[in-house]
Amino acid sequence: MEFWQYLSILLVCFLGIISGYFTSLIASEELRKGKTYFEWFAKIIVFLIMLFFILMYEKLTIFTIIFIIIVIILIIISKTYLDYLYSLFSIIIFTVSNNQKILIIESSLIFILGIITASLFMIRFEKNEMIHGSKLNIFFHLIARYGLFVVVGILFFVFG
């Protein structure tokens, strides 16, 4: 796969974060009501991402087993596990980039997870007032926090 194709896939997946941000601005009243549903839906999407990642391999490798263990530990230990997992899922995009069918499924699921992740971020923001300033400041903070997804993906492509 060419670098530009790979980068486009990463950026389209990352657009889920931006879409989730704008959706949460439009429907800010409904965010708090839907928090429980967002959290459950995020866990279901993470499970599906991992399921398709595992099904891609005929035989589990050490890398796959370690990656699965890291994901499970993050889900168990951290309430904000999506902050970490979203960036790690760029590794999945890199790993499945040679299988077009799985790549389409995984990138679609990561896009949807990005919408949910940004919405949950905005719920936390409204609850804790983590960031002070304009909506543009919040947008840049969101991009900086989850932009690691693209950086990790590019690093794996260049050095992997």
Count each helix (H run) and each strand (E run) in the chain, helices first. Answer: 8, 0
State both tokens at 14.
Answer: 């990352």
pLDDT digits (tens, 9 = 90+) for 37-82: 999 999 999 999 999 998 887 777 888 889 889 999 988 888 888 8
Q: What's this model's pTM, rounded to 2 decimal places?
A: 0.90
